[in-house]
Amino acid sequence: MGIGCSVRSSVPSTDFGEDSHETHRAPSSGASPQVGQRPRLRPHRISATSSSSVAVTLYDLGNGEDPFPPESQQSSHAEETPPIVRRLTLTTVEITSHIQTTEVTVAQPREQSSQSATSKQPGTQKTSQDASVQKPTSQPQSQDATVHQSQDSPAGVKQAAVTSPPEPRPPKLPPPLPDLRVFSENERKLLCGRGDADVTLRPKLIRVYVISCAEDSMQERAILREKVSPSLKNHCGMLGYQFELVDMYEGVSEWQVNDPEFLQAALREMDICMETSLGPQLLILFGQKYGKLMCPTSIPPETFDKLLAATDNSGDKETLCSYYRLDNNSAPPTYQLQPIRHKEGKVDSSDWLNVQDQLLRILKEGLDEESSLLKSALDKQLCHAFSHPKLQAGQVAWFTRRLLQLEAHLSDPQAQHFLDILPGGAVNTAAQQRLQSLVERTTSQLSEATCMANNIPWEGGGIDPGANPAHQEYLDCLQTRCQADLTAMVDRAVTEAQAEGQDHRPRFGKNLSLELQQQADFCRTTSPTFHGHDKLLNAIGSHLRAENTLPLVVHGADGCGKSALAAKIVELVPEWRTEQAVCVYRAVRLGPSHHSEEQLLWSLGEQLRLLYGPCTRKMQMEMGSLVQDFQYFLSRATPDRPLLLLLEGQLQGGEGGTSLSWLPTSLPPNVSMVLIVKTTDMETAPFLKSLPPDCFMEMSTFPPEECMTIADQHLKKNQRTLSPNQREAFQAAIEKCPLPLYASIAAQLSTVWRSDDGDVALPPDVVGSVNSMLDGLEVKHGAELVSAVARYITVARHGLNESALLGLLQQNSEVLRLNKGTELHGLPQSIILRLLRDITPLLSARVQDSMVLRTWRSHSIADVVVRRYLGTKDAVRTAHVHLKEFYSKMVATEQDAGLYTHWCLLELPYHTFQTEPHRKAIADFFLNFDRLCRALVAGNAVQIVSDVNMAARANPDNGDLCLLSAVLQESAAALSYDGRQFCVHVVERLVDVMKSASKDRFPAMCNMFRSACGSAHRQFTTSKVFLKQVAAPPSSSSEKSRKRIAFEKVEGEKEGNDVEPGGETDCDVLTGLFAVKDDPDHVISVSMATGEIRLWDVNTQTSVQVIPGADQPRQVCCIDARHIVVLCNRQLQVYDLEAGKLETTLKGIMNATMPYFGIHDSDHVVALSRNRMYVNVINVTSGDVVSTFKAGEDRFLNSLLISSNGETVVCGDETQKPSPLLVWDLINRKLVHDLRIMGHEFNARLSAITNNGKYVASCCKELIDPDVCLVIVYDLKTGQLFKKLKPGTAVVSLALSEESMSAVLGCENGLVQVWDLMTGACRHVLDGHTHPVDTLQLAAEGRRCLTFDPSHHDVSIRVWDIVEGQCLAVLTPDQPISCCQLMADGERVVIGLQGRDDIITLELQSSTSSNQLA
């Protein structure tokens, strides 16, 4: 028979693992000082029965009733048996680790009677040991200190307690795995590597396509390019978006304007604008010219047959058949227009115009006048736009312009550019009718109200702003109206996107979120392309199901489908293992942070920390520390949460390569690892050489029929097929090179084959096919242009976007040079856009930092480009110089302010290092305080830290750089969270070095230290050092070498030992901080661990009074500057701070789960009764209850709010439905309001009241739709509903300020919303936290607000100006913050750190400095 054990907990806990009951968050409002508005954790009652282990039944006491009330106070409501949440089996040590206060009585089981008999002997002592579950070596078995003999022991055996000798305190159990339920379902999918996770990788791009008749709108389009576009770029950049104006007809010749092939390219660009632009899509300009009709690029066979039959002239028939040829490879077959080419491959413009005129005459004679085949470029673009499924009428701006009296000046040579005129000099009425029809259709499709109509007088030569003031006025008006319309569209679209993005915003770091979404998107799009390796896939599945302790290495040739295999593995992991299995996948060089081992390990560590925890573990960006973190996280995998680590890509050599030396050759339990590498890596990676042969699988030759399937899919996508002879030739080439990469490139080459092409041939391999494609591009676009684009894409570290490529080509004089040696003032936008569309099959695109970046899709393609265009060092250096000059210009002129300038700041140091001496580059960038500060604020701090580390390793004798590297390594986590902390971390970490005699060795860092100390961007100042100090690096490289060898020796001696957790923080020493009433210079701290109450001087940060012996002090309310009321366990006690002693213990016991109380006046405390049916007013001198408020019979209260002036108390009633809010007047001792809304239910635990008690706000939900969250604000003077706020997401904390007339809402998605109580509108959405904030503290003036997440998923605090919507300061210390308090003046923040028994006072530097930098 097992022992009987009862466990009673006065402090509930939810640390029972992932399946424990859902917790509730407690808001903290700076407006009222009362205690415990809402408990942070839902309570549970625990009962247990077992022998060596304890079977625990976990009951839900979520109704808030005292679990152990006296019999006299028990009601039917309290006597109900609570529902069972979960049954667990825990050891005694595990129970005590989860329950802070326990009462345990253990009866010794019969099975231990022999041990008891032995314990009778004099001098013999025996302890009962916990032998339930075998613990790891780092977790020794627990021992019971006291054993009581069972009543069932044999007769004659005396029942006495046997006390064992004092045992050392058992080691602390490892922290439980993080509860992933704090994340949404989609966030869990991203973290666990599920390919079906929803991703929001839409680029922050606003792309507007210009539609006009190219010939008559040159002045207007020039205004758009030179005036409107720069203004919109700047505006969008400040919003974090990129703006592009696409004018395909800028700078093109007449024959290109009428070239059908050019029109098709223009329509492709329009499609891209319609599909990718967030906001305005089109800008339409109407003049009085319809434009020249264009030859159709294709004619259906039945139409062509009718056309031939209607053509009587044999010469016309011959011409028609010469330039329109049947192409059965088109799907469906059509007659295709054949372009005219010179023998050098260039288009002969004069020949083409003549032939086009001839073809148009024939087509007009044979086709109806209204035929859809005969249209102008303007007509075709508009018809294409209006038929597009993603056209949004509200995102189109359009303008009309009419030149008055133009018909009277038809003889003017310039008139033909603005009006359709026949050869005889008359107006082309047919063209004018078509134009009028287009305008009418546009009016019906859009709205005439959105149109700007302009009538201006004719001037000789057309539109001449210099000669005619009316023309200048027209252009100015066009500029103003166009800017206003587009800006309004942009603002509206950005606001909608931000509101929509709030619900899909992942609650972890920005860089990790982006990377995980990239991986999920890649897997979802790539997995369907997997073909032909089913046998290999099954073998991999068998290996993973067997839980092998050895890594698995899959190798194959480049282009054989390794990426598709990896994506398929990600898809099948839940099927092979369990639904709880975690797949951490990295496609090396695919994501934004895989360009060094440190960055790869940091990225892996960030994800593993969230999955295996603890979340408070601080990571350093130093190789040894990252490896230790990585090994520790692997050791935390469990059978309930097994781990698969999947790495694929270039794993050896090159900038993006890694030696893999940090990967384990023998895997911990519950961990599997698959590496997918190139076969050539097998020869160079030492880690791979160290593995036994059983670890390797080879991707065999791809079946040719599968390659043909890939090719057919590509052809079908391009609406092409192959003739039987061509297909036979294609299959023969595939059999010689059966690779998926070759199949896709070969299919792209075959898209230009026509059905009547005779001999066709394909290159024999990938290298040949890539070169063949580049040859064709050079013929079409020019060798210099193609080579320049290829070089820029290759040397760019992360790839390039279209704007950067266009900017680079604009400054390349060789590209701008024409055949005759003249130079253009600029490169037409259409040239680079057409080339990019044609080169797309060789590129991959990804969204990074909200931009679409393009790079080569395969290492094989990149190698071909390097050999072809970058074969010399001079060529490489020249390309880097061009990128450096371009980025320098962008940073200097601050074009595309915000988004694009930030990107340039990150890329500029890398290209400078490739072109200039290292010492100069280091001084100009890394040791330049202003540039480094701007770059860190720009975004990817991990990239900058990696660059500094790389430069420090390359320059080990540069002491300044090595010291900076040490600072950034320690601060990498904080700077990655928010780079604006740079000044604070530099100052705090260099205090010891700056005080030492060795500081003279670091002149540049001394300057940086002084700059940081005096910088306006230093957000916090403090007189106490609270960050880890960095040591001065050795003075010589030889000393560094000796230290490195010693370090490696120590690491070698550690090899084979268990991985120690390392870096674990201690428990909270200070568990609460509270401001002293009417005393701006002191705070009170409580410590549940030590039972101490302390009074601190905020300025000196020293303790001025210590009150020991308190029983678990938790909450404090100040009666005045001297007397306080403290919640100690479940009693309220009054202390005298000046005397440092307990004065009174108030009568009664507080409710275990809702111990709410507050201050009425200097003589009375208001508290919720133990049974939650009353509100008691207690005299602080006598401790007696002097007055009682009661809601009614059998009505239970679940909250208590007291205004700071002590005149108003608000409670929530959970008994009546829908739940009301009850408002009492404490002065007159009466109920004044019973607030309720039909069909709605208040969540009174999420409520707040203003200091003077005028307004109260509470969260509320609709009964018919519980997902709809509202915040209701009442005017308590009248009892009327004042405002109804609709945050659009769940709210976890709430604060009110009458001083600033603001409601501050902490939202479930991590955002903080600020609402204007006067207008009821959302004033600001504050973005910065990565997890919901439960603590909101408002300063007395109501303008500044401190936000904090006590769960430590987000370990930072932020101070905001809620009127301006700015983040004034942010701090991420090394240790988690255990408690914090914003002082009443809003200028100081007092914090307590885990493991420290002192306070730290942080003073805000300036209310306007922090955002000037950003």
The pLDDT assigned to 158 comes to: 39
Measuring CA to CA, which residue among 419, 467, 192 is closest to residue 287?
Answer: 419
What pLDDT score was predicted for residue 127? 36
Residue 222 carries which side chain, given as an amino acid letter? A
Q: What are the tens digits of pLDDT across the range 699-737?
A: 887 888 889 999 999 999 999 999 999 999 999 999 999
Tell me how far apart the alpha carbons of residues 1210 and 1212 are, in angstroms, rounded to a whole number. 7
List phi, psi (to 5°) of 131: -125, 35
Q: What is the pLDDT of residue 890?
A: 85
DSSP bridge pairs for 1312: 1306, 1326
The predicted-structure confidence for 98-119, as pLDDT tens digits, reads as follows: 433 333 333 333 333 333 333 3
* Burial class of residue 81 (count of CB atoms within 10 Å of its CB; 0-12, 13-18, 19+): exposed
Which of the two residues, 320 and 683, has the higher pLDDT score? 320
The token duo for 20 is: 């424990």
Average pLDDT (419-430) is 90
DSSP 249: T
Q: What is the mean pLDDT of residues 421-449?
A: 89
3-class DSSP assignment, residue 1249: strand
Q: Given this model, what pLDDT does residue 1168 score?
A: 94
- What integer pLDDT is reported at residue 460 of this predicted model? 77
CB under 8 A, 24+ apart: contacts of 1401-1404: 1401/1022, 1401/1023, 1401/1024, 1401/1098, 1401/1099, 1401/1101, 1402/1020, 1402/1021, 1402/1022, 1402/1369, 1402/1371, 1403/1020, 1403/1021, 1403/1022, 1404/1019, 1404/1020, 1404/1359, 1404/1368, 1404/1369
- For the whole model, what pTM was predicted? 0.81
| DSSP β-ladder status, 1185-1190 and 1240-1249 | unpaired
Alpha carbon of residue 1311 to chain centroid: 13
pLDDT at 808 over 80: yes
Q: Would the pLDDT of 1045 be above 90?
A: no
Question: Region 802-808: what's the mean pLDDT?
Answer: 88
What whole-number percentage of the chain has pLDDT above 70? 81
pLDDT at 1404: 93
Nearest to 31 by CA among 1284, 1136, 1254, 1020: 1254
pLDDT tens for residues 621-675? 989 999 999 999 999 999 999 999 999 877 654 444 456 788 999 999 999 999 9
pLDDT tens column, 505-525: 777 878 888 889 888 988 998
pLDDT in tens, 571-603: 999 989 888 899 999 887 633 434 688 888 999
Residue 209 near residue 201 (C-beta atoms within 8 A): no
Q: Are 130 and 142 in contact (CB under 8 A)?
A: yes
The answer, yes or no, to whether residue 1051 has pLDDT greater than 60, is no
In this predicted model, which residue has the larger pLDDT, 1253 or 49? 1253
Tokens 């030739």 label which residue?
729
Confidence of residue 1219 (pLDDT cuts 50, 70, 90): confident
Q: Is residue 280 reached through a cis peptide bond, with omega within 30 degrees of 0 on the bond before it?
A: no
* Phi-psi sector, 745: left (phi>0), alpha (psi -120 to 50), beta: alpha
At residue 424, what is the residue type?
A: G
**In a 3-state reduction of DSSP, which class is residue 1172?**
coil
Mean pLDDT throughout 673-701? 86
Summarize pLDDT for 239-297 with one digit per residue, the tens. 888 899 999 988 887 777 878 888 999 999 999 999 989 889 999 999 999 999 988 98
Pick from 630, 590, 583: nearest CA to 606: 630
- Residue 239 is predicted with a pLDDT of 86
Q: Side chain identity at 757, as an amino acid letter?
A: D
Which pLDDT score is estimated for 1304?
A: 96
**pLDDT for position 409:** 86
Write a three-state SS string for 134-173.
Answer: CCCCCCCCCECCEEECCCCCCCCCCCCCEECCCCCCCCCC
pLDDT tens digit sequence for 177-227: 999 988 889 899 999 999 888 888 888 899 999 999 988 899 999 999 999
Distance CA 1338, CA 1318 (A): 18
User: Which residue did the predictor score with more confidence, 1411 or 234?
Assistant: 234
* Cα–Cα distance measured from residue 1214 to residue 1219, given in angstroms and rounded to the nearest whole number: 5
Asked if the model's pLDDT at residue 1311 lies above 80, the reply is: yes
296: helix, strand or coil: coil
